Structure 1
Amino acid sequence: MKNKVIPYGKQSISQSDIDAVVDVLKSDWLTQGPAVPAFESAIAKYCGVNYACATNSATSALHIACLALGVGEGDIVWTSPISFVASSNCALYCGASIDFVDIDLETGNMAATALAKKLVLAKKRNKLPKVVIPVHLAGQSCDMAAINELAKEYNFKVIEDASHAIGAKYKAKPVGSCDYSDITVFSFHPVKIITSAEGGMAVTNCEVLDKSMKRLRSHGITNNPDEMTEPSHGPWYYQQLELGFNYRMTDMQAALGLSQLKQLDNFVSVRNDIATTYNHAFANSTVAHLTQSDDCYSSYHLYIVRLTQCNIEKHKSVITGMREQGIIAHLHYIPIHLQPYYQALGFSDGDFPNAEAYYKQAVTIPLHPTMTADEQQFVINTLIGLV
């Protein structure tokens, strides 16, 4: 496919998406209008959850989710080392300390067994986490039932980082139902399942958490008389109750997200079809795909393979070789604890062996709904030829 570039992921924008944004541009509201609450209501309904809080990014949603759960100085938050740095940075923004739980090498997700062992040791040392943030890598849910049982036993809160997983299911229910967590966070970045250009959403079944997050995303301000410290002075009156941020989503973004949501199930279905083709193609090769649990229906934000029989140099040469052919292979993710910033906090090589082994094996190959059969076959043939 000479001169053809195949990205690992990309948005799919229809004319109806464009029309939805244009309608907002022609309206009286570009931001803080009716499109945002409409998008929130639609996401809440889709997930079967009571409340949804739209933000300008999933990073912002993670931050205010931590704050709403009371994370602050002296607290400890645990997450997965195999994620984007936002999954751990959100705790540091609150003044808390961060630690990690090693992954299951077969799935790439936080290992519930590793979490259980770490909690036993943490309890003895009086270093239990206030919040645990499991990350649903590539669109497959972590073992949330097991994590939830540990949360009850050790009294910590749970934020699901489902940035990859809108449209996914766990135990036949939508990821985001919050059956096993306090808050779930989604991302609508352009390479995700659906997009609002930039944007995120925090969903919860708790009204108190929802109200807190909605204040925090807008400077800590309320115009609700029931939340004020004194009677309202009039219809113009507002109060700042806490130190918040400007994390609001615009109506233009919400309109795009709302339009995209109508296509979500189809997008996820197509992604699963592409993943199934990959699974069959690699079945008798040295290319191993991430294991999928019977309890899960993945949204397949990413398709990640593990080159289990390649050394470091071969692993690198496979990725660069694919890129030379116009296939934008990638690697999700560099273990967070190996980043220079985190090593300065005291983390080092060897801390999380499975995460480090995963990094030496993982390759993300293209998967998005606009891929053609010919493009996918070219990816398959190229990868097998390079391994």
Structure 2
Amino acid sequence: MIPYGRQEIIQSDIDAVVEVLQSDFLTQGPKVPLFEQTVANKVGAKHAIAVNSATSALHIACMALGLGQADWLWTTPITFVASANCGLYCGAQVDFVDIDPITYNLCPKALEAKLIAAEREGKLPKILVVVHLCGQPCDMHAIHGLSQRYGFKIIEDASHAIGGKYQGEYIGNCRYSDITVFSFHPVKIITTAEGGMALTNDDQLAENMNLYRSHGVTRDQNRMTHEPDGPWYYQQVELGYNYRMTELQAALGISQTERLDTFVALRHDLAKRYDGLLKELPVKTPWQHPGSYSGLHLYVIRLQLDKIGKTHREVFECLRGQGIGVNLHYIPVHTQPYYQKMGFMQGDFPIAERYYSEALSLPMYHGLTDVQQDTVVGCLRKVLS
């Protein structure tokens, strides 16, 4: 099976992890701060907080921004459920904004229309989670302008986008957002096995997220209610969680980050090759905004079903049957049973739903060979003929 995504682990990665195994610290040692500084320096952010998953990063980001009951969080329906669930964790209400039909990211025009209506109803969002789907950045300049006008905070869910750029600068610098989140799951661009990170330029947000990732416990005397009883003393000043990243994960992340630019460049080579190989087939290849540089975590095509004698499902199953590990990113969140119990219905976000009915993620990872890519396209050509 040729998978849709996979990690690359080389000897230097293994050596970095073994070094930690032979050290005094498996957790809460020097590697996590070093990984945080490495990523922050790379993307141009002031602070980075490493955690055990991007979902945890989204959660502490919402907490740090003060999301709570009676608040609203908006996001795109074409994302993994975590981008919405982070609002529910905080007791907030969740809503969605339909996607742009070309980029598949949250549509700024649809956002503006929804904000105008929400302002009349007194239901403006406190937080907007924008998702850089497949690694292509959203129109952050337009979205940031709307945030200034309507007063909401922005979290960039850049789980797909580390190593990508917007307007010539690395995604993650938080120029147009309050917090950016990365994922280091094995199918992502770089990996720590499981893991995530929240980045910000705001000192207070960083301090709060650091607190929330570790039980709400502090040894900072400035945050304590009274003088410490002794050098052993700590206080729990907030309700936090055990979201810490291990030293093993951080060591792997540091090693992987050294190859980040190479990984993304290889993905661009693969995407360009896919574009050429798929040119004559009844599919729509991804459109890339000329002012951005995608992380290219995914390569999503859309089937032109009116020109194909098979259904979406039949194409998917035929490819899987031939050993091509295609996938589908994503099932619209509002169509999930849990969200339908909240009142969301089929038809609420028609552009997202149409995307779902046609989308197919082809194998895309920097270790994919030309021979494997030719096999993928050959099988697709056969299925669509």
- Asked if these proteins are the same fold (TM beyond 0.5), I'd say yes
Describe the superposition over 1:339-374 as per-residue Cα deviations: whole angstroms up to 9, x where unpaired.
000000110000000000000000001011111101
1:168–1:297 contact (8 Å) kept in structure 2:
yes
SS at match of 1:7: coil
SS at match of 2:198: strand
Please give the root-mean-square deviation of Cα atoms over the aligned residues, in Å.
1.1
Identity across the alignment (%): 55
Distance 1:196 1:97 in 2: 32
Q: 2:350 aligns with which of 353, 369, 377?
A: 353
Distance 2:263 2:52 in 1: 22
Does residue 127 in structure 1 map to residue 123 in structure 2? yes
Matches within 5 A, 1:187-226: 187-226=183-222
Does residue 137 in structure 1 map to residue 124 in structure 2? no
Matches within 5 A, 1:248-287: 248-287=244-283
Does residue 28 in structure 1 map to residue 28 in structure 2? no
Q: 2:376 aligns with which of 376, 379, 384?
A: 379
Q: 1:331 maps to which residue?
A: 328
Task: After TM superposition, give the deviation of residue 312 of structure 1 in Å.
Answer: 10
1:108–1:290 contact (8 Å) kept in structure 2:
no
Describe the superposition over 1:154-206 as per-residue Cα deviations: whole angstroms up to 9, x where unpaired.
00000000000000000000000100000000000000000000000000000
SS at match of 2:311: helix
SS at match of 1:134: strand
Does residue 148 in structure 1 map to residue 162 in structure 2? no
Distance 1:100 1:313 in 2: 31
Task: After TM superposition, give the deviation of residue 386 of structure 1 in Å.
Answer: 1.6
Distance 2:14 2:34 in 1: 17
Q: What TM-score comes out, normalization by structure 1 length?
A: 0.97
Amino acid corresponding to residue 386 of structure 1 in structure 2:
V
Q: 1:104 maps to which residue?
A: 100
Does residue 159 in structure 1 map to residue 163 in structure 2? no
Distance 2:100 2:383 in 1: 26
Amino acid corresponding to residue 374 of structure 2 in structure 1:
Q
Does residue 18 in structure 1 map to residue 44 in structure 2? no
- Number of residue pairs matched? 383
Distance 2:78 2:303 in 1: 17
Task: After TM superposition, give the deviation of residue 235 of structure 1 in Å.
Answer: 1.8
Q: 2:40 aligns with which of 26, 39, 44?
A: 44
Distance 2:381 2:119 in 1: 47
Amino acid corresponding to residue 289 of structure 1 in structure 2:
T
SS at match of 1:360: helix
Task: After TM superposition, give the deviation of residue 290 of structure 1 in Å.
Answer: 2.2
2:305–2:312 contact (8 Å) kept in structure 1:
no
Q: What TM-score comes out, normalization by structure 2 length?
A: 0.98
Distance 1:278 1:367 in 2: 10
Task: After TM superposition, give the deviation of residue 233 of structure 1 in Å.
Answer: 2.3
Distance 1:234 1:292 in 2: 58
SS at match of 1:159: strand
Amino acid corresponding to residue 327 of structure 2 in structure 1:
H
Distance 2:349 2:34 in 1: 42
1:312–1:360 contact (8 Å) kept in structure 2:
no
Q: 1:69 aligns with which of 65, 73, 81?
A: 65
2:132–2:160 contact (8 Å) kept in structure 1:
yes
Uncovered stretches (5+) of structure 1, i.e. residues with no partner: none
Q: 1:81 aligns with which of 77, 81, 88?
A: 77
1:307–1:315 contact (8 Å) kept in structure 2:
yes
Q: 1:307 maps to which residue?
A: 303
Question: Which aligned segments of 4 or more residues in structure 1 are displaced greater than 6 angstroms?
Answer: none
Seen in structure 2, the aligned counterparts of structure 1 residues 245 and 68 have a Cα distance that, compared at 3 Å, is: same
